[in-house]
Chain A
């Protein structure tokens, strides 16, 4: 019968740890524990590597909460962290040919602490990618969420179409015009770069096809169906609509498809009044590569859109809205140069933001408000504030342009179709009907 010794370890350091081995191990240990502190002493400071500023040192008045705050502060201000993130991404891609995953190592698993610790974090219902970015073919990157949400949306098809009808009814019944634009996901448009073995891809493709078909069949009067237009553009130019390293489409697609389609829905004369031409090729850093922890640059032709005869007026950034501003544009135009005159609200995501400089000169009075999912990130109170701000802005508008990415539109958290958002809009608009209609002069 085997017996296991109950002796604790030896008193003296082991024999092998004499002479040079000891110094080698000590050097390794010192480098391991003291490298970040050491480089900090020599002036190396952490820089923001995520899309937010570094967390400030918490005040002592936080009481016991200071420890949680200090943990985030210590992570943000850890020198060499950027190097670690880049190294991890490089190792993952070079050794395993796949984007890195970002699991936060943490508490021990299931050891006397009860079920709360057993197994650690669990996947969200419907599943998720730990790595936010998925590699496609030819070096293309995709957002993992596009596949997961495509496959397992928060809304059923019936709920989705019912909510779209409800949004349309709420806005149009109040006397306002609603232009609805859905920015198709990258994998919806450029499926040929999606690897066939990508999890959720097959399921996502089928679900998305059904959703787009349902969207078209709804017959909403001012729904701008971008998907066929992008597909036509791809066939015409022979170029993909989206950028290989980015979650957004190219500047060409943004200008000649997105901006044009939005304006056409308001008045066909608008886009025709602009001068549009390809400009120089410019480098860009792909947002998906940044999410990957290994920023990469690509290049894209910049498209120039100018409006002769339009004098930019005041551009004011009003209330900081959950770190993202609500921006108000006022423009004037020479006689004969058309502008959308009624107060217009553009509710949109990063696709709109990227095109704002091109969109704004077509409006006499335009307000841009970021989507409510910003609030969801900050917590329930911020979400409520975001929804209230959106309702208030729509209440004051005559024309409402809603642009939202496909993946976000089917998310219960981020979508304008979420029941709490629609309830708030219904309540706000019912009290403030409009009847002026759209005028483009």
Chain B
């Protein structure tokens, strides 16, 4: 179930809100947990049993790895932690990477002249990357003694399955939310009012902007290599850069807003990433919850930057290879991760990352944006060959008219949305529209916030409802 769907907006949410408000404050977690499982089963069907099994295993493991547990030895806790982490990673490996691994094996055997049976296709459970990382965060935080193990199964299910963050994040580390789980929020209407504008702004970013720009990018990434021209390739890469930002940050805004409506404060996930002045800076602003997760649970345990320069570079490469692969089982994602890892290493080697933010700010910002946009080509292309064709068209000048498929996709409305979105991400970094709308305490700020909500929410609602319209041509029959 997508947040930007009629079933979610006008059936699921009203039902949830009514039940939340009609039940005692103490029942919040139970209501959220039950509705979250319903949310999951709606999109994932029987995979809900996999989710529940993982929840059960990790809930039990939390008690076993907790420090001071009935005299359990450090060694035993460590073993339980290793076993649980292996279980979680194994689940992810099988369901997310199993098909890919088989394909590579079959290709390898084929290359050596052998033959194999058919590839067993394994369906990908929705949200598996997210709930696996939540589980790992939980057992590691508990093992480290950062937070005690969760005693209440309902609260644990609420943390893992909480629908606002279940399918697209943000990735909430356990210690960020553990203290919120037992809360009985005194001002539920206040929470609801605080969350709604954020949700509406996110919905607008997703539905009005990202979904409008998406077809432009889709039409260009679908071109064959002989149809690609340099302007078309850049248009496609820029369109995808905008689409993924407004889509993903819009989803995060919706998640944070929904969480807030229910009395949870979820961590921020974006901080104007296209204002970054370096790739190091970019990763402090893009998918921040993922960066923090990898930093806390992998980069620092590997030694972070405390060892030699070589060791630090190795750690960075390893982490970003995994960051890339986490996004999908395809070589394109791995290359994308390594591409970013390489820039991070380069910025360390040259000392570029230590430059003051203001130094050559505009040029550095444009260069960073350029690097990021080029990187998105690997992320979006269906395979490395397609990515190569796209990059070749971007950097080896080749001109010609835009193919009809592109001009058909880039209608007036979408072109205008694309231009405005590009303007928004390229305006000076000090003027942050989202921050103004979110945090300004002035009367004008309040008016702008409510005004934008009052326009954006209904327009987004119209697009969501109208987007379901699918008549059949031969209606006269």
Contact = CB atoms under 8 A, between A and B. Distances in A.
B101 interface: no
A254 B41 CA distance: 52
B431 interface: no
Given A100-B466, A123-B409, A293-B466, A12 B167 contact: no
B412 A98 contact: yes
A50 B247 contact: no
B9 A33 contact: yes
Given A75-B6, A92-B413, A112-B327, A28 B454 contact: yes
Contact of B190 (A12, A33, A75, A111): A12
Interface string B438-477: 0111000110011001100110011111111111111111
A105 B5 contact: yes
Among B129, B412, B474, B475, the one with the most A-chain Cβ atoms within 10 Å of its Cβ is B474
B191 to A, nearest CB: 6
A51 interface: yes
Interface string A352-370: 0110000000000000001
Given A8-B265, A106-B2, A200 B404 contact: yes
Given A17-B190, A105-B464, A25 B196 contact: yes
B214 A119 contact: yes
A107 interface: yes
B473 A101 contact: no
B433 interface: no
A25 B453 contact: yes
Nearest to B292: A6
A324 interface: yes
Interface string B154-174: 000000000000011100000
Interface residues of A, number: 105
Interface centre among B268, B405, B449, by most chain A C-beta atoms within 10 angstroms, is B405
B477 A32 contact: no
Contacts of A122: 218, 221-222
B329 A247 contact: no
A98 B413 contact: yes
Contacts of B281: 2
B194 A21 contact: no
Given A2-B281, A14-B194, A28-B196, A115 B382 contact: yes
Contacts of B450: 21, 24-25, 28
A127 B247 contact: no
A75 B168 contact: no
Contacts of A237: none
A112 B190 contact: no
B126 interface: yes
Given A17-B194, A25-B450, A151-B404, A105 B474 contact: no
Interface stretch (A76-84, A161-169, A170-178, A306-314): A76-84
Interface in A1-49: 1-6, 8-17, 21-22, 24-26, 28-29, 32-37, 49
Interface of A: 1-6, 8-17, 21-22, 24-26, 28-29, 32-37, 49-52, 64, 67, 70-71, 74-75, 78, 80-81, 84-85, 87-89, 91-92, 95-98, 100-116, 118-123, 126-132, 143-144, 148, 151, 197, 199-200, 203, 247, 287, 290-291, 293, 323-324, 349-350, 353-354, 370, 374, 377
Interface of B: 1-2, 4-7, 9-11, 13-14, 17, 41-43, 45-46, 96, 124, 126-127, 129-130, 167-169, 176-177, 187, 189-194, 196-197, 200, 206-207, 210-212, 214-215, 217-219, 221-222, 240, 243-244, 247-248, 251, 256, 260, 265-268, 271, 281, 284-285, 288, 292, 326-330, 332-333, 354, 357, 379-380, 382, 403-405, 407-409, 411-414, 416, 439-441, 445-446, 449-450, 453-454, 457-458, 461-477
* Closest 7 pairs between A and B when the two form their complex, measured CB to CB: A51-B475, A127-B405, A84-B465, A88-B466, A114-B328, A13-B190, A112-B129
